[in-house]
Chain A
């Protein structure tokens, strides 16, 4: 019974639909029925607005996260670039100073980069990248723009070993710039050097400048070596204990100049 009713209804329904479609085919579509779409259209619009309003903060969050990641990467890249520029600018400044000194420095032999510092833990030495091929020879003075740093202990073909003033086996003939008092500057295996053989009755003040005298026939004269930082007089001793801080810090230098002894250099011209 149910099947028969369903079949009848089905046939009527399908026939009606086909008749309606045929009618529309012949006479055009039913325009009034199109107005039925408006509830759907308005509902769709409302839902789209709601969905948009709900999605906006989420999208903003994702967009900001992405932007943040991009900016962080950019900041890292720029920081690295800045560091490189700063290194290059500092190097440029140092080289400019070296160039300026080179043009006015008598006995200039070569400018060298420091390859290694204190390769031997028992001595204060460093290795530079200039050797015999560059004119560097044994016992030549090595200095920075600030002052004397040591002497060439051994000159290889393309590299040389420099004995620093701070080594205990290093001694340089020096004088105090103002009082012209002669002395020997020796290393102490620390950052400070000691002025030897200054008589107890000589007035030495903290801040006095120490320069090479050239009397040892190794170092050119008038090269700044350091400044007096401590003076101790001992009544029981013939000599004073004078500590000198070097102008040139070997640990803070990258480039050095090798200077040979010439007549002009000897005379300190």
Chain B
């Protein structure tokens, strides 16, 4: 039951984030799906994160009505990157996570642009795409910092509380 509830929540989060991506901020679209996938990659088990990343990727490709694959591939790439980072010797502070999220967003956008250009037709001019890449990466980086630093604080408070209780 708990699994089902979690699955439903992730699905709802995915749909909501895709819808929010349709809105514009300063005449530029957001790309919160990458942030969600990044968060999944950091917080969920790798296979589960990969599954949800694939679902989100397929839905995104479906919404774009173009090629099926670019978003699936890039979202999976993000999960793999998080997998490697989580299993490695990195000290994942909020700032580090923010930088990683910034880079992964930029990589996701660049790769999707590249794959669509290679396997289909060029969607927009490179200059316009690069402006979007910078904006969306910056927004995601800032949001990742806000979310993950909040989680860090909560974890730290919980750890201090547990320690004090143990004493």
Contact A30-B68, Cβ < 8 Å, known A25-B120, A37-B62, A44-B19: yes
Q: Does A59 contact B (CB under 8 A)?
A: no
Chain B contacts for A179, CB-based, 8 A: none
User: CA–CA, A223 to B19, complex, Å?
Assistant: 91
> What residues on A are CB-neighbors of B68 within 8 Å?
20-21, 24, 29-30, 33
Query: Which of A2, A13, A17, A22 has most chain B Cβ within 10 Å?
Result: A17
Q: Does A71 contact B (CB under 8 A)?
A: no
Q: A229 vs B84: C-alpha distance in the bound complex, in angstroms?
A: 111
Say if the beta carbon of B67 comes within 8 Å of chain A. yes
Taking the complex as formed, is A36 at the interface, i.e. its CB lies under 8 A from any CB of chain B?
yes
Candidates A17, A20, A40; contact of B59 at CB < 8 Å = A40
Tell me how many residues of B have a C-beta within 8 Å of chain A.
Answer: 29
Q: How distant is the Cα of A3 from the Cα of B84 in the complex, in angstroms?
A: 7
Any B CB within 8 A of the CB of A35: yes
- Does B113 sit within 8 A of A, measured CB to CB? no
Taking the closest CB of chain A, its distance from the CB of B88, in whole angstroms, is 8
Closest residue on chain A to residue B47 by CB atoms: A9
Pick the most buried of A22, A25, A29: most chain B CB atoms within 10 A of its CB.
A29
Nearest CB of B to A246, in Å: 76
Known contacts A17-B73, A43-B15: does B67 contact A10 (CB below 8 Å)?
no
Assuming A17-B76, A40-B15, what are 13 further A-B pairs, CB within 8 angstroms? A10-B77, A13-B76, A13-B80, A21-B68, A21-B69, A21-B115, A22-B119, A24-B68, A33-B61, A36-B58, A40-B62, A40-B63, A44-B22
13 intermolecular pairs with C-beta atoms under 8 Å apart:
A9-B80, A17-B69, A17-B72, A21-B67, A21-B68, A30-B68, A33-B58, A33-B62, A35-B62, A37-B62, A39-B59, A40-B19, A44-B18
